[in-house]
């Protein structure tokens, strides 16, 4: 699936609130950059951390609200 479609899918989960989505993606990408392993089967060297975070959220591996609430 293309990233645009993945982003649209995840955006629906947060009631089209791009601000909340960007906070969640940036926080998860930060954790991935600090060494956390992706929750999906993916090669980290082929994707940006933000793309991995988005794909994790699309596959319901991570709840957007749980990331934003921890900040």
The DSSP code sequence of the chain is --HHHHHHHHHHHTTT-HHHHHHHHHHHHHHHHTTPPPSSS--TTTS-HHHHHHHHHHTTSS-HHHHHHT-
Q: What does the block give as tokens for 71?
A: 């900040």
SS3 assignment, position 19: helix
Whole-number average pLDDT of the chain: 89
Would you state the pLDDT for residue 8?
92
Residue 16 belongs to domain spanning: 3-69
Q: How many domains does the chain have?
A: 1
Would you state the pLDDT for residue 69?
67
pTM for the full predicted model? 0.86
Would you state the pLDDT for residue 37?
95
């Amino acid at each position: 699936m293309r990233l645009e479609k993945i982003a649209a899918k995840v955006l629906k989960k947060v009631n089209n609130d791009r601000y909340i989505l960007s906070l969640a993606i940036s926080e998860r990408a930060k954790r991935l950059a600090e060494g956390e392993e992706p929750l999906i089967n993916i090669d980290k060297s082929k994707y940006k951390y933000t793309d991995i975070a988005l794909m994790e959220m699309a596959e319901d591996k991570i709840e957007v609200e749980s990331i934003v609430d921890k900040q």
